[in-house]
Amino acid sequence: MADLQDDLHTATELGELDDLPESLPEPLPESVPAEPYAPVADPGTSPLERAHAILGVHPVADGYNGLPWALRHLPWYDLELGESAVDTDVPRLREGHVGALLWSLHLPEGLDGDRAVGATLEQLDLVKTVVRAYPEGLRLAYTAGQITDVRHCGRVSVLLGPAGAAALGDSLGILRSLHALGLRALTLTGATWASEAGLTRFGEEVLREMNRLGVVADLSGASADTVRRVFAVSKAPALCTRSAARALRPHPANLPDDLLAELGEAKGLCMVPLTAEQTGPTVRDVADHLDHVRRVAGAECVGVSGTFDAGTAHPQELGDASCYPHLIAELLRRGWPEADIALLTWGNVQRVLRSADFTARAAQLRREPSTAKIADLDG
Amino acid sequence: MTSPSLAEARELLREFPVVDGHNDLPWALREQVRYDLDARDLAGHQNAHLHTDIPRLREGGVGAQYWSVYVRSDLPDAVPATLEQIDCVRQLLARHPQDLRQALTAADMEAARAEGRIASLMGAEGGHSIANSLGTLRGLYALGVRYLTLTHNDNVAWADSATDEPGVGGLSAFGREVVREMNREGMLVDLSHVAATTMRDALDTSSAPVIFSHSSSRAVCDHPRNIPDDVLERLPANGGMAMVTFVPKFVLQAAVDWTAAADENMRAHGFHHLATTAEAMKVHRAFEERTPRPVATVSTVADHLDHMREVAGIDHLGIGGDYDGTAFTPDGLNDVSGYPNLIAELLDRGWSTSDLAKLTWQNAVRVLGAAEDVARDLQATRGPSCATIESLDG
């Protein structure tokens, strides 16, 4: 695994900070001039045909999939030929033009206490075992660059995460070990340092260490105070892996308009889940949420999460991983420009992951691994 | 004590440096400074606090070190703590890239030797670190852990310890599955600390060479932490190795007896024998004043090696000092700079340079490489085990 390779960066001594190595990456310009978008679909064809054409070039990067826990209790399954016991398998991922997806490591209630760290290790192991068992369909990817490589190989990228905050056992050393095992997203809820009251001092240190490593913060379900604090402190954009618009549907994980606007300013990413509970029972309901988030947060800040195999009911026609063309067709009917759809499905997730990689590389040149302890900071 | 062979020993170690099977530096850093590595900069001498630092590793001719990621077996959070220990080793590697090189394979060890860096491997000390889970075992492997000692001082649910009451009588069915899964991953089975029954069960089960990361000979010094001859005799067939340890209370009979008497004295005064409260220490010091502590020497350790060589053969020996994991060390082997004294002693006893190259370097590299070969074969025939302790041990 690339992360285990011996990296030979020399520690920068205090006092030598003015003499940083030449390899320090150039800071990104404030705004990268957008390349003109070249349309790929024939405007004369039906919305569904256009959706397929666009997704063929700009596949879906799906923000949340609950397959690991679902598979854990299946005695036998075949993801390669198709598995009716779950909503996600390789044929349906292909049919739905899914190019990358995050596999959730969240644990069910009751496992988020003392056992959380060990159970998370087991989840990581399970995901690796499953992905390696289907090398023709799935590949593990750890960075935006690897996702691109995997796509060029015609495979679907699997990213490890999000895990729940409890998986850290309140220790930055454990965060670093989980990152070394491939964890790339962490949900900032369910720990004393990331609660209704917001982030504690240790919570902020966790976030800074996540930035240094390249672990993306997931804010779905986090309190408004936590969300705001993350936007203020984080050097890299944050995700909401499962959040729709609260203005349209009052669910606690949905974001109110003021937070959506702040997310837009922070260039975060709100990934709307395809769940009846959070978005409503029809494709049009989901499209309403996407319209709303795009309007309030911006086209660069909206994405989708299938949320399949996570134990929730889905809107009609959006019941499994093959459904995305229906959703995109609906957006085309509503007049979404192709360029915005390309951002929604693929471009925005790539931006967030690239940003996380870049932030980590820059931070590692400036910052040593944090030795902070929760007892010192939160006492 | 300076042997005339010392210069020759140092010369030999330049070509075939020591692979040490067990060093508890990460635990010492956790206990002393809670991993504040600035407070114990290993680039300089840390004689006042530690047995181990880079200048002394260099002086001692160490070319590879299995850092123990030990955690206590009597606390509930073994898995999280083990991950912190692993993180500590990774921090050490990141801080000392000129001196330490991460090694995950036998080839990495050779590469480190060629570069003049110290190959750094990890070993987990006790089955409690995997919390009855093969998924967690594989996670530790993925993080770089290359051996698991099946128990520490206490039994685990699936294996008996040498220093606990008999439990499952060696390895349980799940315990044997743990060994098989370690074989499949390429993680060495470490039989230090385990009961003789567990040693025999593991040898019956393992298809890869086993190690004793830090154990000496029970025939020379009768202590349960040492290896009985019937087990040593099986190492040639298995291909594994016994890495002799220096801990005085395991290698010197007088020290074994003294420790037993000291423990008895503590209990007679109403303390636990490991108590370190002020009153307990006072009782302990009074005992030590009345009864001077016997001191082991280089020669004590060489006696073990001579015997183990007779029983197991030269191809099955190594060294596992247990530095920073023991309060006392033998004279001449006081810290990690001491290995040349042991090599000099063995030269004086007539060990040849090719024998010593096996002892210090070649056997350990061969054993890790053999475990990799077995793993490659097994992975071609079977997938990861999804057995649970409930399904096998009921």
CB proximity A73 to B under 8 Å:
no
The CA distance from B285 to B383, in Å, is 56
pLDDT in tens, B221-269: 999 999 999 999 999 999 999 999 999 999 999 999 999 999 999 999 9
* Cβ-defined contact of A124 to B133 (cutoff 8 Å): no
Whether B273 is catalytic is no
Whether B22 is catalytic is yes
| A134, burial (CB in 10 Å: exposed 0-12, middle 13-18, buried 19+) | middle
What pLDDT is stored for residue A2 in this prediction? 47
- Chain B contacts in chain A segment 323-362 (CB below 8 A): none
Domain boundaries defined on chain B = 6-248+298-393, 253-294
For residues B361 and B315, the answer to whether their CB atoms sit within 8 Å is no
pLDDT, mean over chain A: 92
What pLDDT is stored for residue A36 in this prediction? 84
Q: What would the two tokens of residue A24 be?
A: 């320090």
| Chain B residues touching residue A123 (CB < 8 angstroms) | 135
- What is the mean predicted confidence (pLDDT) over A160-185? 97
The secondary structure of B280-310 as a DSSP string is HHHHHHHHHHHSPPP--BHHHHHHHHHHHHH
**Beta-bridge mates of residue B148:** B124, B189
* Cβ-defined contact of A125 to B139 (cutoff 8 Å): yes
For the cut 50, the answer to whether the pLDDT of residue A10 exceeds it is no
Query: What fold, for A61-378?
Result: TIM Barrel (3.20.20)
- What is the mean predicted confidence (pLDDT) over A372-377? 95
Q: What would the two tokens of residue B80 be?
A: 């999280």
Three-state secondary-structure class, residue B345: helix
* Cβ-defined contact of A371 to B90 (cutoff 8 Å): no
Identify the sign of the CA torsion A212, A215, A220, A222: negative
The catalytic residue among B53, B190, B322, B345 is B322
Low-confidence ranges of chain B (pLDDT < 70): 1-3
What pLDDT is stored for residue B276 in this prediction? 79
What pLDDT is stored for residue A80 in this prediction? 95
Three-state secondary-structure class, residue A215: coil
Domain boundaries defined on chain A = 61-378
Mean pLDDT lowest among A110-114, A127-131, A198-202, B125-129: A110-114
More confident residue, A137 or B281: A137
Identify the sign of the CA torsion A77, A83, A88, A93: positive
The CA distance from B368 to A86, in Å, is 41
All residues at 6 or more sequence positions from A26 whose CB lies less than 8 Å from its CB, including other chains: none
All residues at 6 or more sequence positions from B49 whose CB lies less than 8 Å from its CB, including other chains: B28, B32, B40
Phi/psi for A99 (5° steps) reads: -105, -20
Whether B125 is catalytic is yes
Computed on alpha carbons and rounded to an integer, the radius of gyration of chain B in Å comes to: 20
What pLDDT is stored for residue A15 in this prediction? 44
CATH H-level, domain B6-248+298-393: superfamily: Metal-dependent hydrolases (3.20.20.140)
Q: What would the two tokens of residue B34 be?
A: 């809670």
pLDDT in tens, A283-303: 999 999 999 999 999 999 999
A75 pLDDT band, cuts 50/70/90, is confident
The CA distance from B379 to A247, in Å, is 53
Q: What would the two tokens of residue B35 be?
A: 């991993």
Q: What is the DSSP letter of A370?
A: P
Shortest alpha-carbon distance between residue B97 and chain A (Å): 6
H/E segment holding residue B93: helix B78-95
- What is the mean predicted confidence (pLDDT) over A172-196? 96
The CA distance from A308 to A71, in Å, is 12
What pLDDT is stored for residue A321 in this prediction? 96
What pLDDT is stored for residue B75 in this prediction? 84
Residue of A nearest to B120 (CA): A6
The CA distance from B17 to B340, in Å, is 10
The CA distance from B305 to A281, in Å, is 75
- Pairing outcome for strands A269-273 and A138-140: unpaired
The CA distance from A177 to B85, in Å, is 9
> What ipTM did this prediction achieve?
0.93
What pLDDT is stored for residue A182 in this prediction? 97
Shortest alpha-carbon distance between residue A375 and chain B (Å): 12
What pLDDT is stored for residue A244 in this prediction? 98
Report how far apart, in Å, the C-alpha atoms of B210 and of each of A160, A328, B24, B228, B238 are.
Answer: 34, 58, 20, 15, 7
The CA distance from A51 to A22, in Å, is 45
CB proximity A178 to B under 8 Å:
yes
CB proximity A8 to B under 8 Å:
yes
Whether the link from the prior residue into B248 is cis, omega within 30° of 0, is no
Nearest to A205 by CA among A221, A229, A181: A229
For the cut 60, the answer to whether the pLDDT of residue A7 exceeds it is no
The CA distance from A345 to A245, in Å, is 18
pLDDT in tens, A21-53: 556 566 666 665 667 899 999 999 999 999 999
| Chain B residues touching residue A6 (CB < 8 angstroms) | 93, 97, 101-102
